[in-house]
Amino acid sequence: MSKLESLVYTNEKCIGCNKCINVCPAMGACTSVDVDGNERRISVNGTYCVSCGACMDACVHGAREFHDDTERFFADLKAGQKISLLLAPAFLANYPSQYGSVLGGLKQLGVNRIISVSFGANITTWGYLNYIKKYNYLGGISQPCPAVVRYIEDYTPDLLPKLFPVHSPMMCAAVYCRKELKITDRLAFISPCIAKKLEIDDPNNEGLVQYNVTFDHLMQYVREHRISGPNCKDEIEYGLGSICPTPGGLKENVYWFLGEDVAIRQIEGKKRMYEWLQNNSKRRHERPPLQARRYRRAYQNSRKTRVRGAREIGRWRSRRVAHGAREGR
């Protein structure tokens, strides 16, 4: 299988230990294949892989690698292409002592503007709050993570209506750059996430962002080419969006505006997230229609309500039978 068929791929260090298969949430993404009739190796099928990176965390042999746009970004920069940066706030948290010098070095190489995605997170939070208020929308799933979105699309599609129709902080920042700041440069996202490449290449987001430059590959390139310059920082002020990438950051943003009485379930970690999605998908299939659930709750409240609830359930069932008869079922 060609490496280019998946963002995540297996190198020659694989010994076929199956640890990646054990942690992979995407059925069929990791499969054991025969190599020259002598040994087994675990291959990645890009059709099923959601690029969550769970296998990379589990692999103790260094047998998993991934593609991003780092090499192309530097090649285009060297060729004189005008490029501005969208900077993930986690870059400062991960590289506090190198943050300023790396950005300064990129500026010296020709980077034009540096926009913090924390500002985009402010816009994303506004989008959630506005949608909740406008449509009284409850029970939605926030979706800044493209791996989670891909998993829902491929493995729990019945949950798609529950996704908030709001862009991620990266895409909100990109839209703001294009429409409000009138930036026509190519945009490179300095990114902590492999799966952001999926979001960038989505046809629905065409023309917004051109490069996913991950922290790991960027810093490897910086060290190999000794890139450094005068301290530099991003150029737009932002507020609570800076805490969005931390665990529970979006929840804290919502609490700030709506108060802590709002019910928000925080799911952290790859294993817990995908198990939660699967369990909720199963519950949606197992649940009776909403009207029936309301009557059943009423039926259980008190003796008086039980009698009334039983009558209502009977009438509901009669209507269902009559409706089925009309439909020819």
Three-state SS annotation for 266-291:
CCCCHHHHHHHHHHHHHHHHHCCCHH
Q: Which residues of 151-164 are buried (b: 16+ CB within 10 A; e: fewer)?
A: bbebbbeebeebeb
Strands 64-66 and 8-10 come out as: antiparallel
Q: Tokens in use for 261?
A: 């009485």
Q: Residue 14 CA to chain centroid, in angstroms?
A: 27
Count of helix runs (H) and strand runs (E) in the chain = 14, 8
Phi, psi of 145 (to 5 degrees): -95, 115
**SS3 for 302?**
coil
Residue 43 corresponds to which tokens in the numbers above?
């291959």
For each of the domains in the chain, give its residue range(s) and CATH number, in order of start: 3-65 (3.30.70.3270), 70-263 (3.40.50), 289-324 (no CATH)
CB 9 within 8 A of CB 56: no
Closest CA to 192 of 216, 167, 228, 171: 216
Structural contact between residues 218 and 70, judged by C-beta atoms closer than 8 angstroms: yes
Helix ranges, the chain (H): 19-23, 54-58, 70-78, 90-94, 99-108, 117-135, 146-155, 169-179, 196-201, 215-225, 249-258, 270-286, 290-301, 303-327
Beta-bridged to residue 34, according to DSSP, are 40
- pLDDT by residue for the chain (329 residues), tens only, comes to 343 468 999 999 999 999 999 999 998 999 999 887 778 899 999 999 999 999 999 999 999 999 999 999 999 999 999 999 999 988 998 999 999 999 999 999 999 999 999 889 889 888 988 888 888 888 888 878 899 999 999 999 999 998 989 999 999 999 999 999 999 999 999 999 999 999 999 999 999 999 999 999 999 999 999 999 999 988 877 776 666 666 667 777 777 777 777 777 777 777 778 888 888 787 766 654 444 444 444 434 433 444 444 444 444 444 444 444 444 44
The Cα 282–Cα 267 span in angstroms is 17
- 244 CB neighbour count, 10 Å cutoff: 25
